[in-house]
Amino acid sequence: MGPSTVVLSTHRLPDEAVEVLKGRVDLEVLREPSRSMLEEAIERADVLIAGFMGIDGEVIARGRRLKLIVARSSGVDHIDVEAAERRGVCVANQPEAIAEAVSEHVVGLILASYRRIVEGNQYTVTGEWYSSRRFLRGVTVRGKVLGIVGMGRIGVLTAYKMRMLGVSRIIYYSRRRKREVEQLLHAEPGSLERIFREAHIIVIALPYTRETRGLIGYNLLSTMRPGALFINVGRGPVVDEEALAKVLAEREDLRAALDVYASEPLPPDSPLARLSGTGRVILTPHHAGGTDASLVETSILAARQVLHFLETGSVWNPVNSACREATDVPGLWGPLDRAI
Per DSSP, what are the bridge partners of residue 230?
A: 202, 256
**DSSP single-letter state for residue 88:** T
Q: Which of 116, 235, 255, 280 is catalytic?
A: 235
Distance CA 129, CA 132 (A): 6
Distance CA 325, CA 313 (A): 9
Distance CA 35, CA 61 (A): 14
DSSP per-residue letters across 136-185:
------TTPEEEEE--SHHHHHHHHHHHHTT-SEEEEE-SS--HHHHHHH
DSSP per-residue letters across 211-239:
TTTT-B-HHHHTTPPTT-EEEE-S-GGGB
Catalytic site residue 264? yes
Distance CA 272, CA 206 (A): 20
Q: Exposure string (b/e) for 30-51, b if CB count within 10 Å is 16 or more? A: beebeeeebeebbeebbbbbbb
Residue 88 — left, alpha, or beta (φ > 0 → left; ψ -120 to 50 → alpha)?
left
Distance CA 214, CA 33 (A): 32
Catalytic site residue 251? no
Q: Which of 264, 287, 311, 325 is catalytic?
A: 264
- Cα-based torsion angle of the residue sequence 99, 103, 109, 115 in order, rounded to the nearest 10 degrees: -160
Catalytic site residue 105? no
Identify the burial level of 217 via C-beta atoms within 10 angstroms of its C-beta, where 0-12 means exposed, 13-18 middle and 19 or more buried. Answer: middle
Distance CA 229, CA 7 (A): 44
The residues annotated as belonging to the active site are 235, 264, 286
